[in-house]
Structure 1
Amino acid sequence: MGEDVLGGRYRLVRLIGRGGMGAVHEAVDTALERRVAVKRLLAAGGLDDGSEALHRFRREAQALARVSHPGVVQVYDSGVHEGAPYFVMELLDGVNLADLVAGQGPLPPPVAAGVALGMCRALAAAHAAGVLHRDVKPTNVSVTRAGRVVLQDFGLARLAEEPAITRAGALLGTPQYMPPELIQGQLPGSPADLYGLGACLYLMLTGTPPLGTGAVDVGALVELAVGPGVPPLAGRADTGVPDSLARLVDALCRQDPGRRPTAAEAEAVLGEAATGGEDALVALVADRVREQAVEFVYSPPVLESSGMEVLDWAAIPQSRTAAGDVQRPLTLSDGTRQLMLSSMTAASARSRQREAVNLVLRGDLQEAVRMLTAVSQVCASALGPDHPTTLTSQYWQAVCLARLGAGAEALELFSRVNAGTERKRGRDHD
């Protein structure tokens, strides 16, 4: 099987996500033997030095490198591979905020305040470094299994000393979480990012997007954003949200950026409201990670593709999230299955399996589940459901589920492995 190794160092393992201009892969840094995330620019419009796509891509890497804070994803390296630029970041475990709310519903106020506090501190650090994020939304906020809140995807970031480069009439960002002044074409300042913070806090506290779930058309969302705006949260008796948090959300989501609280003012309110939420946040993330792992093992998605991207093994299941972002489900086409099976050998499957087992032993359970599920699925078709490589992959899948707390599902999978082993043993004796 061919493998992409960028810069002679970063071996791509699987596709994490793809956007209009680029793709993010999980990769192995072969020099330091660690897992990383690699973002590559794959712009169809060309990569000449004057292209806007290339400018934005370089600016994202520069913005990340400029901010040193635990709440901002760390950038390690950058380079060019076969004419396409890339940069290397830390690989985060856990879940993003949109997935957390989709799985758990409204978060307890201390938990929501704790996540917002982490976001607020990260934004303050970015602003102090002269970086505006400009796309603060739930899918761009990760919460690790240790409860660390991390801002990522600075693809629309703007450096303080750099003029805006957006095209006239272009709408960049997500209207559900985009401040009205940005929609209206005004040059944004730090209050624009704080609006996104308030909109995310609204989602966490209510379980619904700030502009509601009724309008899905971009035009309708824009009219709501620049018109009535985010509905007031204070005074509502149906949410159970403490008055201090409700009033903070309303203040952060004000139409006039000059009337929004500063990061320091927001942090003061959030710090008090977040008391006692740390352990609860870690428990909620663990629950969501466990649910996703079980879903991945029992309903494994595989990337549909006409090219070699299929060899990235697995893709994260996608759907419409509670945050209002639409994500397409991934299915396996006949052509894709044939391409995968033609590239799979017992030796290459065992190699991937050994790599996944090492991840299990290191405690990188989410990555291990994805890799083992892909190996198990393809081996079951290419080598047979009772082949030792297939059964061994399923065994380690069960180990991952057990360590993530899914005891019943792990036991069922262990039983399946035992049954397959007995069948094979019986055939060998015949």
Structure 2
Amino acid sequence: MSFTAQIRIPAIYMRGGTSKGVFFSLRDLPVSAQAPGPGRDRLLMRVIGSPDPYGKQIDGLGNASSSTSKAVILSRSSRADHDVDYLFGQVSIDQALVDWSGNCGNLSAAVGPCAIHMGLIDPERIPQQGSVMVRIWQANIGKTIIAHVPISNSLVQETGDFSLDGVTFPAAEIPLEFLDPAAESEGDGNGGAMFPTGHVVDELEVPGMGTFKTTLINAGIPTIFINAQDIGYTGTELQEAINSDAQALARLETIRAWGAVKMGLIGDITEAAQRQHTPKIAFVAPPRDYVTSSGKTVQATDIDLLVRALSMGKLHHAMMGTAAVAIGTAAAIPGTLVHQAAGGSERQSVRFGHPSGTLRVGAQAQQINEQWQVTKALMSRSARILMEGWVRVPGNSF
């Protein structure tokens, strides 16, 4: 009996923000995976170790959480005013699914450093000391991200003293600008507007559960915000309190599915299972003292509000970067549930509490012709190469 040999593909394993993923250069992928389609999806699933009915991803590079079951494909940008095209795939842990419907804000911090390391940025642009601005085209959602990558001795500086709650060790700070993060068209029910329904607060009817006040926003990533108290929470919950409760997860997924329909992202709630990455669902509450997953106490006086968000059906251990963009955007717009939970005052930045600690995100919002527009959202992350070389997969796996 003959067996198929393994092949090896150049890859870089990176942490970006509070996520990890396997990064590929498009040119290094097998020909059958260089274009979108089943072959590419099967390859990435095999690299990550999915689908895994045991939920552990033992036979791959995934680490059994939505934060670590990710893949990225980079290439020199085809757009004259951008440096690199960035395509993100969220790999389901237990299903044969790669969700391409949204961005990963955390891994966005790793794109600039990785592109430099891959040689996708012209060497003459790299200073000996200082920083380099990398203009990133986020291909999943058609938006621009600007990363300011620190440089030391003509190399990406990865070590530093910037601390990020949810990441154990400090590293170098990478400021990110998410330009025009909200959708541009006005509400028409197609999921394409910043507020797809045209309202900053909606009544979301969920059959069998009731009607909930929600803010449905498409900024950074489509997100459904709901008041924590309306679903029986305080906003101080940690992962175990939610993720160990199968009924709670099912209720939140049902709300997410009906919210996706109302946002125009899917036509029927049955489609939500094939669109796990978007929209996100998050619950908000006014500030109060709580203890983080690391045992640190966060004082109510140190934050503007509390936010807990789910990713791929589980409560996130910190906060997704794209959801942070949605939080910052919603906090800047009067009347949203996020703005209300933060006290209702005018603001251009907000510090919120999440399960691992706190995070500050800023957004520049203005009202033009009675419509809200957000020019950019700002936050800082860090990134570090964990391993580089080749990833090996069976040659018949894609």
Give your verdict on TM over 0.5: no
TM range (shorter): under 0.3
More strand by share: 2
More helix by share: 1
**What TM-score do the two structures reach when normalised by structure 2?**
0.27
Q: Which has the higher contact order (CA 8 A, sep 6+)?
A: 2
**What TM-score do the two structures reach when normalised by structure 1?**
0.26
Q: Which has the larger radius of gyration?
A: 1
